[in-house]
Amino acid sequence: MDMEAAKMIGAGLAAVGAGLAALGVGNVFASFLEGALRNPGAADSQQGRLFIGFAAAELLGLLAFLVAVILVFVA
Amino acid sequence: MAAEEGKVDPMKQFQIEPIFGSENWEIAGFSIAFTNSALWMAVTVILLVAFVYGGMRRELVPGRWQMAVETMTGFIDNMLEANIGKEGRKYVPYIFSLFMFILFGNLLGLLPIGLVGLHPFTFTSHFTITGVLALMSFSIVLIVGFWKHGIGFFGLFVPHGTPVLMTPLLFVIELFSFLIRPISLALRLFVAMMAGHVLLKILATFVIDSLNAGPLLGATVGPAALILMIAISALEILVAGIQAYVFALLSSLYINDAENLH
Q: Using an 8 Å Cβ cutoff, are B248 and B73 in contact?
A: no
Distance of residue B192 Cα from the nearest chain A Cα, in angstroms: 7
Q: Is residue B261 within 8 Å of B153, Cβ to Cβ?
A: yes
CB B251 within 8 A of CB B137: yes
Is pTM, for the whole model, over 0.90?
no
Q: Can you give the pLDDT at residue B1? A: 40
In three-state secondary structure terms, B262 is coil
Rounded CA-CA distance B41/B21 in Å is 17
Chain B contact for A62 (CB, 8 A cutoff)? yes
Q: Does domain A3-73 have CATH number 3.40.50.2020?
A: no
Q: Give residue limits of the domains in chain B.
A: 2-260
Nearest CB neighbour to A59, from listed B11, B184, B245: B184
Structural domain boundaries of chain A? 3-73
Distance CA A2, CA B249 (A): 45
Q: How confident is chain B (262 residues) per 10-residue block, as mean pLDDT?
A: 57 79 71 82 92 83 87 91 87 93 92 82 90 94 91 84 86 90 91 89 88 85 90 92 92 90 74
Whether residue A6 has pLDDT greater than 60? yes
Which of B1, B192, B249 shows the shortest C-beta gap to A62?
B192
pLDDT for position B22: 67
Sign of CA dihedral B29, B34, B39, B42: positive
Chain B CB contacts of A55 below 8 Å: 188, 246, 249-250
Instruction: Render pLDDT for A33-52 as a digit per residue (tens, 0 to 9).
Output: 999 999 988 888 888 889 88
A41 touches chain B (CB under 8 A): no
CB contact under 8 A, A52 and B82: no
Which residue from B187, B250, B253 is facing A66, i.e. has the nearest CB?
Answer: B187
Q: Which residues of A touch B184 (CB under 8 A)?
A: 59
ipTM entry: 0.81
